Structure 1
Amino acid sequence: MNLNGLKTTIATPSVTRHIMKAFNLRASKRLGQNFLVDANIVRGIVDAAGAKPGDKILEIGPGIGTLTQGLAESGADVTAVELDKKLPAVLAETLAGYDNVRIVPGDILKVNIPEIMGEGPFKVAANLPYYITTPILMELLEKHLPISILVTMVQKEVALRMIAKPGSKAYGALSVAVQYYTKPHIAFDVPPRSFIPAPEVDSVVIVCDVREQPAVEVKDEKMFFKVVKAAFGQRRKTIANAMKGAGFTKDAIEAAFTKSGIDSGRRGETFTLKEFAALADALVVTNLL
């Protein structure tokens, strides 16, 4: 079956069902699979990524090649990493004729991304499985890879956490991490009818422009995130008590709050990135850990 030879658009219900039937495929609940069947959404993701000839794009979870096809038709060079062992053979058929697509079987959390992407900047585009969205995002960002932009489809609730501001219920460790490394914004909504099978949650496409330098300067990035993790690990407690529960010594906590001038009675959910940075830096300087 050479779909590309016919220039068939994969992102339609009829073609997707045809592919699923031809290859005896079922969407895997274990892998969080929902196949995109809306060509307008595909175009929206490609446009949001600014995909163009000469770009290198890492796609995570190409599935049957729906988004991959849209990215390939932009002229970009696409490297798609697929976990489901059944799908590379399917992709060889659905994307036949696209010589600018390379399929890499494997787990994105385990593959050597610098090795498969080579030198120079690249973009990331993905319809991420919702059950593993956060680990994948953090793996990509924490490695300081030369990513210029991440355009991902995620559960709306997760996207709202990614863009949340201090003081809101959605604000947490994910908000701080994403905003530390990137400038995120929601591009558009994706209704459940855009998928087969239709998910039970609302989805959005979120664009994260990766910062050339983190949003705040810190003396020790590991300490910064250790403080953030502690603050939101017990978010109902004051930050001082939450830090104590996370293993920081009493002397270190008191010295850090004295040096930073921050009120130890506040909750972590009220802290800006600058305040987290100031507290973490004070911990490093006092050296009482």
Structure 2
Amino acid sequence: MARKSFGQHFLLDLNITRKIARLADLRPGDAVIEVGPGPGGLTRALVETGARVIAVEKDQRFRPLLEELAAASAGALTLVIGDALKVDEAALAGGPAHVVSNLPYNVGTPLLIKWLTGPWTPRSLTLMFQKEVAARIAAQPGAEAYGRLAVIAQATSEARVVMDVPARAFTPPPKVESAVVRLTPRADRPSAQRLDALQTVTAAAFGQRRKMLRASLKTLAHEGGGGEALALAAGLDPQARAETVDVAGFLRLADAWLRTRDA
């Protein structure tokens, strides 16, 4: 039985799980991490690809079933009982790896931020989210869903929604629709310092969405002129609002903030 506290909704439809595995574009021998396998619906489809699957499950109730799957997989499946927010993916995979998961709803966004901004960079991410969250990841400037998550996701990855999944495909059916997002790391992924700065400036800018940049960035200003000077240093209109600024603009803003901070 699914636990509401864990945000569990299990995907058991073989047609859908196999399609997700195909969208992940896995090759035999590839390492792939799956978070929240539950009863193993998607896990089976991943093993079928010939990939080496590391399944991270927090709910002990699924341990016997997943251990049975692992025993029958001829070494293709490794089970890790633990909290995905705390595991060391590099150590688990022993090198580069893909991530493919029907993520538990209550930890989907924190896990994505961990994988996008942390020290370990996945080869690719093929992830199921609530449709609303998927829209926020892929949103473009000016869209209602465009915000901090879109900027961070798109600064670090090529992000696109590749599949919609109806609620009836899950057990139990959630109250919302879902979607699969495919993210591939960008070759020009920002450095760790620049990424930290991007997180800081987007938190300030989107923390007060209705305000102009000159007001929302005021708390970040380290010299005369306040938020207006910081926006101008990034080549941005101080009267613009955060939801109209593209990813490149936010990266320039991060650079400008680093210059003023370190001056």
For the aligned pair, the TM-score class normalised by the smaller chain equals over 0.9
- Residue 71 of structure 1 corresponds to 46
Q: Say if 2:222 and 2:260, in contact at 8 Å, map to a contact too.
A: no
- Residue 213 of structure 2 corresponds to 239
Gap regions ≥5 residues in structure 2: none
Cα pair distance change 1:205/1:250, threshold 3 Å: same
Cα pair distance change 1:180/1:75, threshold 3 Å: same
Identify which of 242, 258, 262 aligns with 1:284.
258
The answer as to 2:94 corresponding to 1:102 is no
Q: % of aligned pairs identical?
A: 39
Alignment of 1:1-289 (within 5 A): 26-98=1-73, 99-119=75-95, 121-214=96-189, 220-244=194-218, 246-249=219-222, 251=224, 252-287=226-261
Gap regions ≥5 residues in structure 1: 1-25
Cα pair distance change 1:218/1:110, threshold 3 Å: closer
Q: Distance in 1 between matches of 2:132 and 2:145?
A: 8
How big is each residue's C-alpha offset from its partner over 1:80-104, in whole Å with a ceiling of 9 and x where there is no partner?
Answer: 1001122112212244410210000
Larger radius of gyration: 1
Q: Distance in 2 between matches of 1:205 and 1:217?
A: 27
Alignment RMSD, CA only? 1.9
Q: Distance in 1 between matches of 2:260 and 2:104?
A: 42
Return the offset for 1:257: 3.0
TM-score, normalised to structure 1, is 0.85
SS of aligned partner of 1:131: coil
SS of aligned partner of 1:41: helix
How big is each residue's C-alpha offset from its partner over 1:219-246, in whole Å with a ceiling of 9 and x where there is no partner?
Answer: 73322221111110010111121122x4
Stretches of 4+ aligned residues off by more than 6 angstroms: 216-219
Q: Say if 2:212 and 2:242, in contact at 8 Å, map to a contact too.
A: yes
Return the offset for 1:280: 2.1
Q: Say if 1:219 and 1:281, in contact at 8 Å, map to a contact too.
A: no
Q: Say if 1:162 and 1:184, in contact at 8 Å, map to a contact too.
A: yes
Q: Distance in 2 between matches of 1:213 and 1:284?
A: 18
Q: Distance in 2 between matches of 1:260 and 1:97?
A: 56
Q: Say if 2:69 and 2:77, in contact at 8 Å, map to a contact too.
A: no
Q: Which amino acid aligns with 1:269?
A: E
Q: Distance in 2 between matches of 1:191 and 1:87?
A: 24
How big is each residue's C-alpha offset from its partner over 1:99-131, in whole Å with a ceiling of 9 and x where there is no partner?
Answer: 210000000111121111112x21100000112
